[in-house]
Amino acid sequence: MEDRTLIDRCRKGDELAWEHLVQRYQARVCGVAYTYTGSEEEALDVAQEVFVRVWKRLDTCRDPERFAAWLLSIARNACLDHLRRRKARPPAQDLPADEMFDLSDGGDRPDADLERDDQRHVLEVALQQMSDINREAILLKDIQGLPLEEMANMLDLPLGTVKSRCSRARVELAKVVSGMIGPGPEAEAAR
Amino acid sequence: MSGNWQKRFDDADLTRRILDRTSGRACDRAEDLLGGRWDADVEDVDQHLLQGHVDGCPACRELETILDRLQPLLPGLAEREPGPAFTARVLARTSVVQPVPSLPAAGRLDRLARILENRLRGAWNRPRFALEAAWTAAALTALLVWSPLAPSAAPDQATGAVRAGASAAPELIAQVERLADSARVTGREIFGPRVDRLEQEVAEIYTDLAGRFETVKQEGQSLWQRLAGDETQPESD
């Protein structure tokens, strides 16, 4: 069922449609909230708050075809509000060396699910070590797949600035991951 | 011999030494291009120049490898399952929140119910409500007892009426409850799923009202006792 149909029904008070809409987007909103907060518990609280805001403002969503982008924008604002309230970010979690997944080993571990979890964990820890601005760029562009133009609108920045920010953010993420897993043998030899 | 010369001229280390003495290393520019490749705006010439740099720079080559491996993994972080209870918690929170205001397709009855619901809730929730109710009750009592329009036996009749009213209060409350039960049954037929929420709000209003009623009753009893005390005291003159 399309978002537009669900939203129309929600506006008429159809609680089943609202439940369906929540189920459709809750994991995505939790993903965004987790990337901003770095805490599962806080992410759940913020995600609930996001849906309460969406429910209250559903009639202001002018273009239901772009509901996902509108939702992301509300989620972003809710996360920033939360971070402002929290003020100080918690220290990034240290990952024990033996739990780190070596991205350079070609991924030949037998348990594919375990490998995926390890990769995810490394990325989540690395994201929390990045600067706020660059982490947000990675989240919106590479994780949530927002088009650059949409991102520029949301952040109220020129397109060129958004492009260069995304580029710098990817490099920062790669360097953080490289610092976590250690330099490759070639790079080590070159130093 | 010439092979050795050629090798020395191709040495990336020599390039680095020359760059160090001229423009500086090109790694910063290479990083910009490496990070921007996914936005599909690297020109062919830049791509060619980048490849030349990466071939001779182990650090940038490693960066390129990591970027290539990370990029497909990132969309996997887009979603995070919140657990089975999440939807229920959101629905519980949104069902008590005032719903979307503009409902063009809603019926008149539905809108009327919503307006009444909001007005009533607003009235009962006002902090000054108890004070205003007490003032109104006091003014009505004064009209009953001391008004020039009252009959000659007004004080006795009025106090009797007030006492009778107080003793009739439990019966009145019971009647209200019976009416509420009846209205609930009728309301369920009319309003359908909205009744549950209305019931919850009525229950809250009722609890609030009971608290306020108890306060007013205690204040009334205290006032009554003082008035009764004044009546029994002999006049000083």
Would you state the structure tokens that stand for residue A169, as one six-digit string? 């953010």
pLDDT at residue A99 is higher than 80: no
With a cut of 0.85, is the ipTM above it?
no
Q: Do A110 and A176 have their domain in common?
A: yes
pLDDT score, position B208 = 76
B contact residues 97-136, partner A, Cβ 8 Å cutoff? 97-103, 105-106, 110
Q: Do A77 and A103 have their domain in common?
A: no
pLDDT at residue B191 is higher than 80: no
Residues 6 or more apart from B20 whose CB is under 8 A from it?
A: none
CA distance A183 to A177: 10
Q: Which chain B residues are within 8 Å of A164, Cβ to Cβ?
A: 32, 36
The answer to whether the Cβ–Cβ distance between B62 and A170 falls below 8 Å is: no
pLDDT at residue B97 is higher than 70: no
Q: Do A178 and A104 have their domain in common?
A: yes
Would you state the structure tokens that stand for residue B229, as one six-digit string? 């005390």
pLDDT score, position B201 = 72
Q: Which chain B residues are within 8 Å of A166, Cβ to Cβ?
A: 35-36, 38-39
pLDDT score, position B128 = 58
pLDDT at residue B87 is higher than 80: yes
- Confidence grade of residue B124 (pLDDT, cut at 50, 70, 90): low
pLDDT 10s digits, A158-175 = 999 999 999 999 999 999
Residue A164 lies in a domain: yes
pLDDT 10s digits, B150-178 = 555 555 655 565 566 556 556 666 666 67
pLDDT at residue B90 is higher than 60: yes
pLDDT score, position A107 = 45
**Chain A residue nearest residue B37, CA to CA:** A167
By CB neighbour count within 10 A (0-12 exposed, 13-18 middle, 19+ buried), where does B38 fall? middle
Would you state the structure tokens that stand for residue B145, as one six-digit string? 């007892």
Scanning the structure block, which residue is given the tokens 């209205």? Answer: B183
Residues 6 or more apart from A79 whose CB is under 8 A from it?
A: A32, A33, A36, A37, A46
Overall number of domains in chain A: 2
B contact residues 171-200, partner A, Cβ 8 Å cutoff? 193
Q: Do A113 and A73 have their domain in common?
A: no
Q: Do A79 and A107 have their domain in common?
A: no
Residue A92 lies in a domain: no
Of B65, B70, B77, the CB nearest to A124: B77
Please give the mean pLDDT across all residues of chain B: 71
Of B66, B74, B87, the CB nearest to A178: B66
Please give the mean pLDDT across all residues of chain A: 85
- Confidence grade of residue A111 (pLDDT, cut at 50, 70, 90): low
- Confidence grade of residue B216 (pLDDT, cut at 50, 70, 90): confident
Domain assignments of chain B as residue spans, ordered by start: 2-75, 105-232
Q: Do A179 and A109 have their domain in common?
A: yes
Residues 6 or more apart from B67 whose CB is under 8 A from it?
A: A170, A171, A174, B34, B35, B37
Q: Are B57 and B27 in contact (CB under 8 A)?
A: yes
CA distance A8 to A52: 17
pLDDT 10s digits, B2-11 = 556 566 666 7
Scanning the structure block, which residue is given the tokens 């919503």? Answer: B114
CA distance B31 to B64: 9
pLDDT score, position A96 = 41
- Domain of A107, CATH number, reads 1.10.10.10
Chain centre to alpha carbon of residue B222: 41
A184 vs A60, residue with greater confidence: A60
CA distance A114 to A120: 10
Q: Do A75 and A127 have their domain in common?
A: no
pLDDT at residue B104 is higher than 50: no
Q: Which helix (H) or strand (E) holds B115?
A: helix B108-125
CA dihedral B201→B202→B203→B208, nearest 10 degrees, is 90
Residue A116 lies in a domain: yes
Range B178-189 average pLDDT = 64
Residue A118 lies in a domain: yes
Of A52, A86, A120, the one marking the end of a domain is A86
Q: Do A81 and A105 have their domain in common?
A: no
B108 vs A27, residue with greater confidence: A27
- Between chain A and chain B, the number of residue pairs with CB atoms below 8 A apart is 159
Residues 6 or more apart from B137 whose CB is under 8 A from it?
A: B216, B220
CA distance B209 to B177: 13
CA distance A54 to A60: 9
pLDDT 10s digits, B10-38 = 676 777 777 777 777 789 889 999 998 88
Of B76, B86, B93, the CB nearest to A120: B76
Residues of chain B above pLDDT 90, percent: 15
Residue A22 lies in a domain: yes
Range B184-196 average pLDDT = 60
pLDDT score, position B109 = 58
CA dihedral A19→A22→A26→A32, nearest 10 degrees, is -170
The model's pTM = 0.58
Q: Do A140 and A184 have their domain in common?
A: yes
Of A34, A58, A86, the one marking the end of a domain is A86
pLDDT 10s digits, A127-166 = 999 999 999 999 999 999 999 999 999 999 999 999 999 9
Residues 6 or more apart from A58 whose CB is under 8 A from it?
A: A7, A10, A11, B100
Q: Do A47 and A123 have their domain in common?
A: no
By CB neighbour count within 10 A (0-12 exposed, 13-18 middle, 19+ buried), where does A21 fall? buried
Radius of gyration of chain A (CA): 19
Output the DSSP codes for chain A. --HHHHHHHHHTT-HHHHHHHHHHHHHHHHHHHHHHH--HHHHHHHHHHHHHHHHHHGGG---GGGHHHHHHHHHHHHHHHHHHHH-SPPPPPPPPGGGS--GGG-S--S-HHHHHHHHHHHHHHHHHHS-HHHHHHIIIIIIS---HHHHHHHHT--HHHHHHHHHHHHHHHHHHHHHHH---HHHHHH-
- Domain of A16, CATH number, reads 1.10.1740.10
Residue A43 lies in a domain: yes
B contact residues 24-53, partner A, Cβ 8 Å cutoff? 31-32, 34-36, 38-39, 41
Range A56-60 average pLDDT = 91
The answer to whether the Cβ–Cβ distance between B106 and A34 falls below 8 Å is: no
Q: Do A124 and A62 have their domain in common?
A: no
Of A86, A106, A137, the one marking the end of a domain is A86
Closest by Cα among B113, B192, B99, B78 to A18? B99
Of B58, B74, B86, the CB nearest to A142: B74
Phi-psi region of A149 (alpha: psi -120 to 50; beta: other; left: phi over 0): alpha
Closest by Cα among B158, B156, B160, B133 to B144? B158
Q: Do A72 and A110 have their domain in common?
A: no
Q: Which of B60, B66, B117 to mutate to test the interface with A (most CBs of A within 10 A)?
A: B66
Q: Which domain holds residue A164?
A: 97-190
